[in-house]
């Protein structure tokens, strides 16, 4: 009976494991891209943005106002990864990441607020729904972005810095790592994507309160070797302990 109880508990934990969809921000050749830039993500899954080169950001807008934060046009806070200088992390064999949880299938529109990257096409969509409205496509969003007069980060400021190497710690980092099939859960909230780096499991998140389609977000660095997958499964530490206990008693 004890084995059965533990085994069922472990299986229940594994059933709640989350799929993490990986999006590469830029690339080894410093392209101004999100890859993939159009993906479908079920509610409850997570998206991990892995920053590959330069000094980029992920900002949420709405379809009608690309290159400006959604908070400027609605009552929604939206998400902002902060600027993520890759060189400082890569020197330590790490990749900066920013992870969000998708809470529903409302289309989500994102862009990079660095320089004129948004106007250059560094935009993306999650859960595009052209079946509902054919005009709200990624291609039309890119077209609107191309003619945008400004590229703003939250706070209404333009970032005109270069997208090259930048020293110092990455903005918006919270404790923990989430690469590969890692253990841990994302708990707690801080506002605006700031925090401190360190620790072995994610213990803090940046709130995306009031953001349609998202629940929580967090930033951290992960080892380069753990950043190769396009998708992976993240199960909780409790699930792993439960399975280990069940196998031990068997």
Q: Which of the two residues, 222 and 240, has the higher pLDDT score?
A: 222
- Which residue range is the domain that position 38 belongs to? 20-147
Inside any domain, residue 110:
yes
pLDDT at position 229, please?
Answer: 66
Confidence of residue 233 (pLDDT cuts 50, 70, 90): confident
List pLDDT tens digits, range 67-103.
999 999 999 999 999 999 999 898 899 999 999 999 9
Inside any domain, residue 60:
yes
**DSSP alpha helix (H) spans, the chain:** 2-15, 86-90, 138-146, 237-249
pLDDT at position 177, please?
Answer: 33
List pLDDT tens digits, range 196-209.
222 222 222 233 33
Residues in contact with 78: Cβ distance below 8 Å, sequence separation at least 6, in sequence order: 59, 60, 61, 69, 70, 71, 154, 208, 211
pLDDT at position 207, please?
Answer: 32
Total domains in the chain come to: 1
Say yes or no to pLDDT of 169 above 90. no
Inside any domain, residue 125:
yes
The CATH number that applies at residue 100 is 2.60.40.420
Inside any domain, residue 27:
yes
Residue 36: asked if its preceding bond is cis (omega within 30°), the reply is yes
């Amino acid at each position: 009976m004890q084995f059965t109880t533990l085994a069922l508990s472990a299986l229940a934990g594994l059933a709640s494991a989350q799929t993490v969809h990986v999006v590469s921000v830029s690339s080894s050749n410093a392209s101004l891209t999100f890859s993939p830039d159009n993906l479908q993500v079920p509610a409850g899954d997570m998206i991990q943005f892995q920053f590959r080169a330069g000094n980029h950001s992920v900002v949420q807008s709405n379809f009608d106002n690309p290159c400006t934060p959604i908070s400027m046009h609605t009552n929604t806070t939206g998400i902002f990864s902060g600027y993520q200088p890759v060189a400082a992390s890569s020197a330590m064999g790490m990749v900066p990441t920013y992870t969000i949880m998708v809470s529903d299938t409302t289309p989500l529109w994102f862009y990079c607020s660095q320089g004129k990257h948004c106007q250059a096409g560094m935009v993306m969509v999650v859960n595009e729904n052209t079946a509902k409205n054919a005009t709200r496509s990624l291609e039309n969003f890119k077209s609107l972005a191309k003619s945008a007069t400004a590229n703003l980060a939250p706070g209404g400021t333009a970032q005109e810095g270069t997208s090259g190497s930048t020293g110092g710690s990455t903005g918006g980092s919270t404790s923990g790592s989430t690469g590969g099939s890692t253990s841990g859960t994302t708990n707690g909230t801080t506002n605006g994507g700031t925090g401190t780096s360190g620790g072995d499991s994610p213990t803090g998140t940046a709130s995306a309160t009031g953001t349609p389609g998202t629940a929580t977000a967090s930033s951290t660095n992960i080892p380069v070797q753990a950043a190769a997958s396009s998708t992976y499964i993240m199960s909780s530490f409790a699930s792993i302990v439960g399975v280990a206990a069940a196998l031990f008693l068997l």
